[in-house]
Amino acid sequence: MTKRQPSGEDKLIERFFKPLASHPGALSLSDDAACFTPPAGHDLVLTADMIVAGVHFFADDPADSIAKKALRVNLSDLAAKGGEPIGALLAISFPGAIEEKWIAEFSRGLGEDCISFGCPLLGGDTTKTPGPLSISITAIGKVPSGKMVKRAGAKSGDLVVVSGTIGDGALGLRTVKGDPVLAQLSWDQLDFLKARYRVPEPRVALAPLLREYAHAAMDISDGLAGDLGKLANVSGVNARIETSKLPLSNAAYDALEIAPGYLKDILTGGDDYEVLAAIPEDRYPAFAEAAGKGGVPVSAIGSFRSGEGVTVQGPDNEELAFGQGSYSHF
């Protein structure tokens, strides 16, 4: 008789990932699939993002921050669609060299976010890879039936609204890479920018407000200019924004003082994970007040009008052109 011994994979799941699977539908990760009863009167919002070491993060980034980024880029998508998280599935391929200590840190970081965002692990898969660490997360959210906020829907006269501050992620990437110009910033500012690159802040508090106020929304992951272009394009309108209205962190403001040319990074660099929304002008004050009460500052940076494409009015009122305008992996 062969008594089955748990494999290394089973032990890893049991020890590090089962504690994150608090949803009853996860079946303690001891079955082949998750099973859950969808909430009545709701649609489900589904998004899947894969992040790869050397492409979306650095292999030597802290393990907990890698886990958080993998989940948060998905939660950012859900939030921008007006969705509130239900749970997530994690597929992860580990390079041979990854140690148990690393996995412990990874699962600790992921577990913190599963709790703080109410997004337990529902299931997933672990495997080895001869290549870089790759993490694919599918996040599931809910919206009241018919209320998902789409990319299409911006109308002429709506304001172009963004949450938080823009450009920190792109400047953070420069910082992590050791950009010598940005080295003139203070240590605190450099740490702030790195943290913004490594661990984005999904704007989950905005989800119900976007459902109530926004004609259209998306999250900014590939650069404001390009993502605004996508939203304007599917909505059939032109978007005009003014760089003087861009909400900048103190660190980004000081960076622009040192290197005005980094405005292009701020507008096109990506990794913002802020919300971009089209809000009717007359409803904007109420939206902004509610967002502020929810702890998320928002800024109107321009407006939509008839036409196509994106118009960016620069610091000296000149029109800026960006070509591609968006980060693309291809």
Q: How many residues bind a copy of itself (CB under 8 A)?
A: 93
* Closest to a copy of itself by CB, 143 or 256: 143
Residues 223-242 that bind a copy of itself (CB under 8 A): 225-226, 229-230, 232-234, 238
Determine, following the binding rule CB under 8 A, whether residue 152 of this chain makes contact with a copy of itself.
Answer: yes
Residues 174-213 that bind a copy of itself (CB under 8 A): none
- State how far the Cα of 235 lies from the Cα of 226, in Å rounded to an integer: 14
Which of 24, 131, 285, 315 contacts a copy of itself by CB under 8 A? 131
Which of 66, 67, 70, 140 contacts a copy of itself by CB under 8 A? 140
Residues 17-46 that bind a copy of itself (CB under 8 A): 27, 30-38, 42-46
Which of 219, 265, 271, 272 contacts a copy of itself by CB under 8 A? 219
| From 121-129, 174-182, 256-264, 283-291, span contacting a copy of itself (CB under 8 A) | 121-129
Which of 24, 116, 132, 293 contacts a copy of itself by CB under 8 A? 132
Looking only at the bridges linking them, the beta strands covering 310-313 and 238-242 are: parallel
Cβ partners under 8 Å of residue 329, min gap 6: 55
- Quick one: tokens of 25? 């539908």
Which of 21, 67, 71, 80 contacts a copy of itself by CB under 8 A? 80
Site string for a copy of itself, 253-272 (x = CB under 8 A): --------------------
CA dist list (Å): 282 to 33, 118, 286, 296: 47, 33, 8, 20
Nearest distance, CB of residue 330 and a copy of itself, angstroms = 3
CA dist list (Å): 222 to 71, 181, 198, 228: 17, 23, 15, 10
| From 63-71, 79-87, 158-166, 280-288, span contacting a copy of itself (CB under 8 A) | 79-87
* Closest to a copy of itself by CB, 126 or 184: 126
Nearest distance, CB of residue 64 and a copy of itself, angstroms = 21
Report the interhelical angle of 168-176 vs 250-258 (nearest 10°).
Answer: 70
* Closest to a copy of itself by CB, 35 or 115: 35
Nearest distance, CB of residue 186 and a copy of itself, angstroms = 34
- State how far the Cα of 261 lies from the Cα of 238, in Å rounded to an integer: 25
Looking only at the bridges linking them, the beta strands covering 216-220 and 274-279 are: antiparallel
Determine, following the binding rule CB under 8 A, whether residue 150 of this chain makes contact with a copy of itself.
Answer: yes
What are the backbone dihedrals phi and psi of residue 24, each rounded to the nearest 5 degrees, phi first? -60, -30
Which DSSP string do the residues of 236-266 spell out, in sequence order?
A: T-EEEEEGGG----HHHHHHHHH-GGGHHHH
Q: Residue 56's closest CA among 42, 45, 67?
A: 67
Residues 288-317 that bind a copy of itself (CB under 8 A): 307-312
* Closest to a copy of itself by CB, 252 or 267: 267
- Quick one: tokens of 221? 């992951």
In the beta sheet, which residues pair with residue 83?
none
